[in-house]
Amino acid sequence: MAVPAQSSPREAIRVSGLWKRYGALEAVRGITFEVREGEIFGLIGPDGAGKTSTFQILAGVMRATGGTAHIFGRPAREARAETGYLTQAFSLYADLSVDENIRYIGDLRRVPPDVVAERGRRYLAMFGMDRFAGRLAGRLSGGMKQKLALTCALVPEPRVLLLDEPTTGVDPVSRREFWDALAHLAAGGLTIVVATPYLDEAERCHRVSLMHLGEIHATGTPAELRAGLGAQRLEVRCARLGEAEALALSLRGRGGPVMDVQRFGDRLDVLTPDAAEGERALRDAAARARLPIADMRMDTPTLENVFVTTLRRLGQQPAPAPFPARHDHGALSRQTAIGATNLTKRFGPFTAVNNVHLEIRYGEVYGLLGANGAGKTTTIKMLCGLLEPTQGHVQLAGERGRVRSERVRQRIGYMSQRFSLYNDLTVEENLNFFAGVYGVPPDERDAKRRWVLAFSGLEGKEREITGSLPGGWKQRVAFGAAIMHEPTVLFLDEPTSGVDPLARRAFWAMINRLADAGTAILVTTHYLEEAEQ
Amino acid sequence: MVAGELVVEGSPDGIKRREMAHRRLLEVRVDQPQRAVDALRRDTDPWRIALFGDRLHVIADDDGDRAGELLAGSLRKHGLEVLEIRDGRFSLEDVFISVVERARQEGRVALEEGA
């Protein structure tokens, strides 16, 4: 069991039969859980699960419709001095320095200035940020901003820390440091509740609750949840992965040997109730189809398996609306789609990209990984003709040099890190605009638009103003808008940042389908579990 | 990509095999996890140690079957009780962290400085 060391198993938080209604919408529907002192407790669930409402009630900034939330025995609203709350949005003053932000928060929370100074120094040192005390908050990287926000939340020395998706947009090195700091603080007795859409982060919690449509469906340690699934995972390697996937999917069904199939870049993950039986069924089917399987091995299921399987049992299927493909790029197969030689970009004395060579062929998915500031976005901008290289050559969609021509532009799709959509247009107007820019033939537009709406879960909401949508939904529309014209080359810069696991899965299923149809795809991501795809 | 350069390229499996060839991931349960993290981080490169709930992930230099024994010995020396040590699998994140760390040690990158 996950009893944190050096702390009594005292109850820190008790939530009992909690409800929250907004008009007709029931955001939280009678949830109950406890968190022990010194525990890291994770709330995981898709967008709209009710996690943020739960946090707002625990933080005492919103009233519940029914039920109770207690922190160290007192109602959450009366225990606000005990809680620190980090919201999804960046909540610091960009034009104040790191130190000034800390002093300002200390003042607000009425902590004596000398105490604020001492604690500020201590936490900045703990997070490796002491050298940046004088820097403007607006000029920090994503990871450092989050560490500063955490420092500000810690300065009043709360006993409970509430973190609502604290690592969105934070690179892997900073993410690991952030979680190392959380583990350290929890070991010192701080109680932490954290929501995250990233299931590798959920592995770092002592216990986790899986939330969906306002209800909690499973609670336990990550190991208990994995064991509770009653399934094993087979990793299948095979040269003809697309065929193997179709084969495994044909064995899926109630009581059958296959519960779930997920495609990764160089393997399939097949979830099965019984590994021996699952392996036999797969091998038999492969033999009948004359499909050689290179390797098959058993492993424990992941939290992602638990998540997807549980939601599927609840009837939430990542809707696989078939993409209305009208063009096949198979003829281009194996030719170079994106090429770079000696690619270099300097901004004054700063070398952002140094001598990069790469070659990506049609039908390939290429992941570009790196910390913030490693040069990924600059590289992408040069590759797709948005930025002139200082040195070196680019080859794109069959053209050299003239990569900014109209002809090339209609063959590529680009989804930028910041939303490429117009916030003050409706969803429909955005889709019409991009269909026009990318030259989608008029007779295909309607089918494509309907597909994007289905993929985004926005059917019937096409008249809504894009800016009013939650981030995860906007990402889905932006992704859809970038592929409506069936580009032969697709650039995706952090496409899944802030997107929940089910939607992320739908993104990757689509990416693989596009690659199978011959599209070359370059993706950047901070989430390395998806780089495996 | 690190500091503007492509440092490693290949399939996910290929990168793991190549970059982590002489390393292994040990999953460790001890009676006092955070104390174990702090102690091991003083003994070795801090990036090799991370706490996942009540389990430690330790990236050890592969020393045949002795890696686990050596680790258990060093934990006991710190007065910790070792409950379980078993082999785990590297995630691509483990690989990423170790590639970036190597670049950092070679002075190729001053992380977050350029932000």
Distances in Å between the Cα of B31 and the Cα atoms of A1, A371, B36, B98, B103 are 11, 34, 9, 27, 34
**For residue A3, which of A35, A44, A43 has the smallest C-alpha distance?**
A35
Task: State percent of chain B over pLDDT 70.
Answer: 92
Residue with tokens 């939904």: A473
Please state which architecture CATH assigns to domain A11-220.
Answer: 3-Layer(aba) Sandwich (3.40)
Q: B114 in a domain, yes or no?
A: no
Has residue A313 got a pLDDT over 60?
yes
- CATH classification for the domain delimited by A231-300, as one of 3.40.50.300, 3.30.70.980, 3.90.170.10, 3.60.21.10: 3.30.70.980
The DSSP 8-state label assigned to residue A526 in this structure reads S
For A173, which residue in chain B has the nearest alpha carbon?
A: B97
The DSSP 8-state label assigned to residue A221 in this structure reads -
Query: CA-based diameter of chain B, in Å?
Result: 44
Cross-chain Cβ contact A372/B89 below 8 Å: no
* Residues A122 and B98: beta-carbon distance below 8 Å: no
Residue B33: how many CA atoms within 13 Å on its side-chain side? 33
SS3 A260: strand
The pLDDT value recorded for residue A5 is 47
* Residues A31 and A210: beta-carbon distance below 8 Å: no
Interface of A with B in 369-388 (CB under 8 A): 369-376, 378-379
Cross-chain Cβ contact A529/B11 below 8 Å: no
- CATH classification for the domain delimited by A330-531, as one of 3.40.1190.20, 3.90.550.10, 3.40.50.300, 3.20.20.70: 3.40.50.300
Query: d(Cα B67, Cα B73) in Å, to the nearest integer?
Result: 10
For B29, which residue in chain A has the nearest alpha carbon?
A: A2
Structure tokens at A309: 């399987």
Residue with tokens 């940046």: A132
The pLDDT value recorded for residue A424 is 92
Structure tokens at A166: 């604290």
The pLDDT value recorded for residue A319 is 55
Q: B32 in a domain, yes or no?
A: yes
Structure tokens at A484: 């409506």
Has residue A115 got a pLDDT over 90?
yes
Give the distance from residue B21's alpha carbon to the nearest chain A alpha carbon, in angstroms: 18
Has residue A7 got a pLDDT over 50?
no
A358 touches chain B (CB under 8 A): yes
Cross-chain Cβ contact B50/A353 below 8 Å: no
Cross-chain Cβ contact B1/A205 below 8 Å: no
Cross-chain Cβ contact B97/A172 below 8 Å: yes
Give the pLDDT confidence of A499-518 residue by residue, as tens digits.
Answer: 777 788 888 889 988 998 89
Cross-chain Cβ contact B92/A529 below 8 Å: yes
The pLDDT value recorded for residue B114 is 39
User: Where does the pLDDT of residue A77 fall: very low under 50, low under 70, confident under 90, or very high at 90 and above?
Assistant: very high
Task: State percent of chain A over pLDDT 90.
Answer: 55
Pairing between β-strand A160-164 and β-strand A11-22 as defined by DSSP bridges: unpaired
Query: d(Cα A523, Cα A530) in Å, to the nearest integer?
Result: 10
Q: What is the mean pLDDT of chain A?
A: 88
User: Are both A11-220 and A330-531 of the same fold?
Assistant: yes
> Rg of the Cα trace of chain B?
15
Q: B52 in a domain, yes or no?
A: yes
- Mean pLDDT to the nearest integer, A333-355: 91
Interface of A with B in 277-336 (CB under 8 A): 299
* Residues A279 and A235: beta-carbon distance below 8 Å: no
Query: d(Cα A299, Cα B88) in Å, to the nearest integer?
Result: 10
Domain boundaries, chain A: 11-220, 231-300, 330-531
Domain carrying residue B49 = 21-89
Give the pLDDT confidence of A170-224 residue by residue, as tens digits.
Answer: 888 888 889 999 999 999 999 999 998 888 889 999 999 999 889 999 999 999 9
Distances in Å between the Cα of A105 and the Cα atoms of A100, A133, A152, A153, A180 are 9, 15, 6, 8, 24
Q: Mark out chain B residues that contact chain A at CB-CB < 8 A.
A: 1-6, 9, 11-13, 31-35, 37, 47, 50-54, 89, 91-93, 95-97, 100, 111-112, 114-115
Give the pLDDT confidence of A177-191 residue by residue, as tens digits.
Answer: 899 999 999 999 999
A49 vs A532, higher pLDDT = A49
Cross-chain Cβ contact B34/A184 below 8 Å: yes
User: Taking CB atoms and an 8 Å cut-off, how many pairs form between chains A and B?
Assistant: 128
* List of residues 6+ apart from A23 with CB closer than 8 A: none
* List of residues 6+ apart from A86 with CB closer than 8 A: A146, A149, A150, A153, A161, A162, A163, A164, A166
Q: B98 in a domain, yes or no?
A: no
User: Where does the pLDDT of residue A26 fall: very low under 50, low under 70, confident under 90, or very high at 90 and above?
Assistant: very high
Has residue A1 got a pLDDT over 60?
no
Contacts of A356 in chain B (CB under 8 A): 1, 4-6
The total of structural domains in chain B comes to 1
**For residue A313, which of A209, A234, A210, A220 has the smallest C-alpha distance?**
A210
Cross-chain Cβ contact A528/B92 below 8 Å: yes
A183 touches chain B (CB under 8 A): yes
For residue A215, report the phi and psi dihedrals to the nearest 5 degrees. Answer: -125, 155
A273 vs B112, higher pLDDT = A273
Q: Which of A35, A176, A224, A364 to mutate to test the interface with B (most CBs of B within 10 A)?
A: A176
CB atoms within 10 A of CB A137: 23
For A3, which residue in chain B has the nearest alpha carbon?
A: B54
Residue type, B101: E
- Where do the H-state alpha helices sit in A21-171? 51-58, 98-108, 113-126, 142-154
Which of A2, A357, A532 lies nearest to residue B54, judging by beta carbons? Answer: A2
Q: B10 in a domain, yes or no?
A: no
Q: B60 in a domain, yes or no?
A: yes
Cross-chain Cβ contact B50/A176 below 8 Å: yes
Q: What is the CATH number of the domain that holds B62?
A: 3.30.70.100
- Helix-, strand-, coil-residue percentages of chain B, each rounded to 5: 40, 25, 30
- Where do the H-state alpha helices sit in B1-115? 12-19, 33-43, 66-77, 92-105
- Angle between helical axes of A427-437 and A471-483 (0-180°, round to 10): 30
Query: d(Cα A42, Cα A163) in Å, to the nearest integer?
Result: 9
